[in-house]
Structure 1
Amino acid sequence: MSNLPKEKASRAIDWTGEHVVTTVHSARRRYDMALLRFQARLESTQADRFFPWLVTLVLWVVLALLAVARSKDLGLNSTLGHHLQALHLMEFGTSPEISELGINIFAQHAAFIFFPVALLARIFPPTETLLIIQSLAISLTAVPLWRIARGPGNLRIGASSALVFAYALHPSIQNLNLSGFHPEVFALPALLAAYLEGQKERWWSVGVLLLIVMTSRSDLGLAVAALGAVFVFEDKKRHGSAMVSLGLSWFLIMAFIVQPIIGNGEYPHLSSFSSYGTGSFGVLFGMLSDPVAVFGDLFARESFEKVLLLVAPVLFLPLVRMRYLIPVFPLLALYLVAEGGVDELSNPQQDVALLPFVFIGAVYALTRVGVPGVKRILVDKRVLAVLALTAVVFFIRDAASSPYEQPWDWGRRDVSDVARIDAADSLENYDRVLAHPSVFNLVAERETVKLLPDGNYYLPSLELVSGIDVIIFDSGISNWKEDEVRTFTHAVQTLGFKEEFNRSGITVFSKRP
């Protein structure tokens, strides 16, 4: 009799354990069934048609808000200012010669697509117009990426969504959105759409899209050639070969004929290869005669990190289908050996030509690792979960809009920001300005505006202030000692400038005629 309570307790424990297991199993089954029903609805033709556009709209709103907020707190770099100055000069019918660069804005990259953008910027506020259009171009890329995954890739909703999610969080995409303004951003959706249209044999549409790509930046002719090589590998040899010829011809004509004519008589980026020689043939001969130096630049630590940041956020999937990456290697090599200055965001504009091939390769990699279903390729949910997790990790680690950067605080102005704005408002439209980067975009819409160096301590020279009416000095970003700031101020005054404004570390010196 004494064992009876123990037996009851044991049966109660067994019943409770079985009940818990049954409940958990039932809950998981209900979750799986609900997920399957949701995916089935998305698999419908109507949902498949509108879902990528909904994603594009949401992504556009988020990216545009981030970019505009960063602009409000003066956190964007000077490339925005270069295009604001170009817009100002074009509006008044003047050649868009960028003071800081010393060349015509169209000589820099032959980005003729900037002409229609300039027309829009005349109607709406220029800064916000440039940033919102750029965010729109980035967001629109989600549509052809989705169509490729669902069409040629034949992937289900889950895999397609994971790829679009990885694209939206890719550090290069987030950094591009916050790196000023770059006309080459229009090539992102155009390249992917051109590949999609090529799969459908719509070659006239491909031609229009390739024109958008090539007019957004001259060296993207090499990306067009790479896309042509991809089509050649896919047995579309006639059209693919034509694209290779078109892309190479465009790049050579723009780089060595059109850009020198518009600019200063030579390819404007030859200085980026000065370590190999002088002049076009000198650089080419230098590369051929010293392959060790070329390989040293290709496999430098900075090059490794750049390549890693391209493919790692998509779980290295493109490496599974290398034939979609190999054609763009020459352009990647060109970027890696160039000596151009690297900004704090690692020049994300250079990734525009590379990312379409990365994601096309990722689509077909998932197709390969998946298994055929009744209608579409099935990819293990664990693979997709790891892909999404990897995208989140690299977003948090490397993106300019990472939570560590506290983007929810962007758009707020401290006393120094208010002082910068007041200093910019105190200028006359005709003033020729030399300003620190923190103020550059505020004063860019004028005929002459140059950047004041913001590095280590130095004294201003006559050459630095030649042809300048106003200097805007920001001690908040210079990290100079107080005595160094005082010495700089005295040196500026010795050169004939008078102090007109001084608040919260922002000083305005003027020497108007």
Structure 2
Amino acid sequence: MKHKIIAIVVISSIILFLSSSLRHIFFHSTANDLGIFDQSVYLISQGEKPISSLLGFHILADHAAFIWYPISLFYRIYPSVYWLFAIQSIALSLGAYFVYQLSLQQGLKEKQSLAIAIIYLLYPTIISANLFDFHPDTIALPSCFWLVLIARQANQSNYKTSLIKFFTAILIIVSCKAVLSLTVLMTGIWLVFFEKKRIYGLIAIILGLSWFIISTQFIIPYFGSNAASISRHLTHYSYIGNSFIEIVTNTFFKPQILINHVISFSILFYLLSLILPVIWGLSLKYLNPIICGSPQLLMCILSSNKSFYTVGYQYTLPIVTFLFLAVISNIKTQSYCLKNKNIILILVVLGFLISFNPHIDIGSNIGRDFSSLTYSLQASDKAVKIINELDNLRKDGYKGSVLTTAKIIPHLSHRFIIKLADENISKDEIGTFDYVLLNTHYPILTSSREFAKSLSEELKIDIRYQMFFHENGILLFVKEI
């Protein structure tokens, strides 16, 4: 059976890679977050400081994610955003391998273990997270499974080797995002009290808590500025309070604020979407692994940002990890849960439908002239190639600064300066860019068709710029050298 799970992982990796790559090719990836991460990794690979022009500060000040440095080694071989898609698809698919191993370790039959691994790959968040640009959270997911597997197999392998693997798993998890150190911390508590793995649990508690303090109190403030302060994330919870102290105070003395938010239709729908694909395999008796994902669960359901409480985004990934641990623990004693294959299939499909993938972008194209949209994509591709060709003609090797739309940015992010063309850009700053690439037909996010058209009209009469390309609403202005 082992060769079957390996084949499944390989096939899944290929499918996930192709799907995310196609989404990018069709200009559906965005500046936030693919453009930011791709630019930062590229700068690291070139030996430069990864100060993203889209963020305005060092990438380590974002989430203290030093995983970007080992990832940049791939960019040294050849700088391409497709490395990120490949890493993400492999990481998400590897989760199936660890689900399979954890199932076997808990005494499940090989066919049962294989079935749970396949169900994992069909879970809506796995598919959606793969399609939403790239996020290091996806790398942490298989590492969370691995962390638990190592602790559970501690008595079956060399103690020193197990500890090294355990440290490595924790290192990978916390290197992906500072807040995931809280997941490590809670996993440690779970290992101590529920799995009776005291040494491993204490290690996870100490390292998780230590890294959370180091990353939030030292690394992020050191590499960032006021704009990078962790307090910027408090805006997601502004309905509770405007500062950390106010949020904590209101949580205890005004709990009705939280209660009203949590029992809202949106949050209850999110919780339903979360458990529906695996509800057939859950029971209250074996739900204790969810303790590990409780920090992320609380952050999601308490947030006012809809992305947090939508299963189609990467924020749900740590919760998914421990939901499957709960399923495995339950099936260990109640194997009949897997016998109702039709019910399981219906629930998985229903779970996917009610949490319809927000990253497929089909809905955003309804009502549009499809042929017009296709021509616009082709024109965008031509404009991107022109900019790259003009950059290659420069003898100094410098890649010109670019002002463009959110969906074009990930195709031109291998340069020092690239920014988003929207209403927030000042008129004085516009004149500093070597290239201005606009989409007057299909602007998105904070940009509007009126803004794009207005800016294009201004640039047409600006003597500093020449309109180098104009096709199907795509306009490229090049600054005279």
Using the size of structure 2 for normalisation, the TM-score is: 0.83
Report what 1:26 is aligned to.
none
CA contact (8 A) 1:318 1:324 kept: no
1:249 pairs with 2:203: no
Distance 2:227 2:186 in 1: 25
Distance apart, 1:319 and its partner CA: 4.9
Cα offsets for 1:256-282 (capped at 9, x unmatched): 221111111586342231425555445
Report what 1:193 is aligned to.
146
Aligned residue among 117, 131, 141 for 1:178:
131
Distance 2:273 2:377 in 1: 33
Q: Residue 235 of structure 1: SS of its match in structure 2?
A: coil
Distance 1:443 1:465, change over 3 A: same
Q: Residue 509 of structure 1: SS of its match in structure 2?
A: strand
1:99 pairs with 2:58: no
Report what 1:120 is aligned to.
74
**1:188-227 equivalent positions in 2, closer than 5 A:** 188-201=141-154, 202-227=162-187
CA contact (8 A) 2:63 2:177 kept: yes
Report what 2:472 is aligned to.
504
Q: Residue 437 of structure 1: SS of its match in structure 2?
A: coil
1:381 pairs with 2:381: no
Distance 1:331 1:368, change over 3 A: same
1:434 pairs with 2:403: yes
Report what 2:259 is aligned to.
295
Using the size of structure 1 for normalisation, the TM-score is: 0.78
Distance 1:481 1:124, change over 3 A: closer
CA contact (8 A) 1:345 1:400 kept: no
Report what 2:23 is aligned to.
70
Distance apart, 1:463 and its partner CA: 5.7
Distance 1:105 1:311 in 2: 34
CA contact (8 A) 1:179 1:345 kept: no
Q: Which runs of 5+ in 2 are unaligned?
A: 155-161, 364-372, 392-397
Report what 1:31 is aligned to.
none
**1:31-430 equivalent positions in 2, closer than 5 A:** 47=1, 49-78=2-31, 79-152=33-106, 154-201=107-154, 202-232=162-192, 233-264=194-225, 268-274=229-235, 275=238, 276-277=240-241, 280-281=244-245, 283-285=247-249, 287-315=251-279, 317-320=281-284, 321-339=286-304, 342=307, 348-370=313-335, 379=337, 381-382=339-340, 384-398=341-355, 400=357, 414-427=374-387, 428=391, 429-430=398-399
CA contact (8 A) 1:430 1:447 kept: yes
State the identity %. 22
Which shifted more, 320-329 or 166-175?
Answer: 320-329
CA contact (8 A) 1:231 1:239 kept: yes
Distance 1:332 1:402, change over 3 A: closer
Distance 1:158 1:490, change over 3 A: same
Structure 1 or 2, whichever has the larger Rg, is 1
Q: Match for 1:137: what amino acid?
A: A
Q: Which runs of 5+ in 1 are unaligned?
A: 1-46, 371-377, 407-412
Which shifted more, 63-72 or 479-488?
Answer: 479-488
Cα offsets for 1:135-178 (capped at 9, x unmatched): 011111111100111221x2223432332122111111011111
Distance 1:317 1:289, change over 3 A: same
Distance 2:84 2:16 in 1: 13
Q: RMSD in angstroms over aligned alpha carbons?
A: 3.1
